[in-house]
Structure 1
Amino acid sequence: MREAEKLASPAPGPSALETRLAARLAELRVQRGWSLDELARRSEISRSTLSRLERGEISPTAALLGRLCTVYERPMSRLLAEVEAEPPQVVRAGTQAVWRDEQSGFERRSVSPPHPALRGEIVEGILRPGADIAYDAPPVAGLEQHIWVLEGTLEVTVDGHLHEVGAGDCLRFRLWGGSRFRCPGPGPVRYALLVVLP
């Protein structure tokens, strides 16, 4: 069993967003004509875990969802935007979609009004001290990212190169390989992530 799979946890009761996400994951697989076995082969996630994800019995971790986004060739932000209602032009702070991965210590807020047809978006990320999330590959090769740290320190590894980004600093890169986000502490890190599709 892969490490990302181990981090999938039983859902205490799915939210409306989680229910729509589970349905969208199943829909993406069916649209491609893949069986659960085929998706398991492509994603290196067990068939039983995939089945439970699609039925909404467990919530995906950031790493697990990242692996599925890679297989489906879409950024996580776009996948989450696809399960939102009709996208508004303004999203007030109190209604922005927030997704939490309690086990890895990651909180992700969709700041930009969601729209699957747009190429750029802003996401707020918060990692608690010691949080360490690795992605095997980008969801879309050549994805442009800008990371602006608002509070704390973030260690970002891009294609094997480690960057320490402090408060006020901004890192820009195009992603072709693996990436890793780590909060070395002592406090949490809060950052703005700007994502631009190639």
Structure 2
Amino acid sequence: MDINKLIASRLLALRDRRGLSLTALSERSGVSRSNISLIERGESSATATVLDKLAGALGVTLASLFEAGQDEPAPPSPLQRAVDQPVWTDPASGYVRRQLSPAVRTPLQLVEVVFPPGQRVTYEQVVREADIHQQIWLLDGVMDVSAGDQQWRLQAGDCLAIREDQHISYANPGKTPARYLVGLVTLPFAI
């Protein structure tokens, strides 16, 4: 399946499941109604920042927008073959994101990212319905990561644990692509 079509179907399904109109999702996310409509029709490739805003407004992780098979009647397979892993390229920065995890419901999601040199992506602080923790294990290259007021320069082999409840920025200051693994764990907020 084309990645933009996959994102479109997941976004529409999540919006319908929550009973949100385009206007309501627009107000919650800060993304224009027309932009959401284009994304849902698969006519626009949204940036990582826009997809993060939409995921936050829907109360899901960004990674969940890349999951196939969630809305099919048959249970999803616990195996995600490499050839079937959704791959998406951020049109703004050129970073390439591969959804490694199968569509089986677990609190852990794994994502591989290849981040081009000289690029930056910033995610705003988004209020979510879950507590999302991530660990970033840098496999190759160099990455600068900031979360809130803290900043780190990661070298190959370094692993950083942060929460997604703050402003987060990723930048590759190097001259070669950086490659890293992201492990995301979603925990429900205690009531």
Unaligned runs of 5+ in 2: none
Equivalent residue, structure 1, for 2:171: 182
1:112 to 92, 101, 112: 101
- Asked if 2 retains the 8 angstrom alpha-carbon contact of 1:17 and 1:83, the reply is no
Displacement of 1:140 after TM fit? 5.3
**1:140 to 1:164, Cα distance in 2 relative to 1, 3 A:** farther
Matched, 1:157 2:157: no
- Asked if 2 retains the 8 angstrom alpha-carbon contact of 1:129 and 1:188, the reply is yes
- Asked if 2 retains the 8 angstrom alpha-carbon contact of 1:24 and 1:83, the reply is no
Q: Secondary structure at the match of 2:67?
A: helix
2:22 to 33, 36, 47: 36
Counterpart of 1:56, as a letter, is: G
* Alignment RMSD (CA, Å): 2.0
Count of residue pairs brought into register by the alignment: 183
Take 1:142 and 1:31, find their aligned partners in 2: how far apart are those partners?
21
Take 1:83 and 1:184, find their aligned partners in 2: how far apart are those partners?
37
Unaligned runs of 5+ in 1: 1-14
Equivalent residue, structure 2, for 1:54: 40
Displacement of 1:51 after TM fit? 1.4
- Asked if 1 retains the 8 angstrom alpha-carbon contact of 2:144 and 2:171, the reply is yes
TM-score, with normalisation over the residues of structure 1? 0.83
TM-score, with normalisation over the residues of structure 2? 0.86
2:115 to 127, 133, 139: 127
The within-5 A match list for 1:65-104 is 65-83=51-69, 87-104=76-93
Equivalent residue, structure 2, for 1:142: 131
User: What do residues 70-123 of structure 1 show as CA deviations (whole Å, max 9, x unaligned)?
Assistant: 0011112122225567532222333322111133121111122222x2001211
**1:20 to 1:37, Cα distance in 2 relative to 1, 3 A:** same
Displacement of 1:29 after TM fit? 2.1
Take 1:26 and 1:196, find their aligned partners in 2: how far apart are those partners?
24
Displacement of 1:125 after TM fit? 0.6
**1:112 to 1:31, Cα distance in 2 relative to 1, 3 A:** closer
Q: Secondary structure at the match of 1:191?
A: strand
Displacement of 1:141 after TM fit? 4.9
- Asked if 1 retains the 8 angstrom alpha-carbon contact of 2:116 and 2:172, the reply is yes
Comparing 99-108 with 19-28, which one deviates more in the overlay?
Answer: 19-28
Comparing 165-174 with 74-83, which one deviates more in the overlay?
Answer: 74-83
Identity %: 34
- Asked if 2 retains the 8 angstrom alpha-carbon contact of 1:154 and 1:166, the reply is yes
**1:154 to 1:141, Cα distance in 2 relative to 1, 3 A:** farther
Q: Secondary structure at the match of 1:134?
A: strand
- Asked if 2 retains the 8 angstrom alpha-carbon contact of 1:21 and 1:83, the reply is no
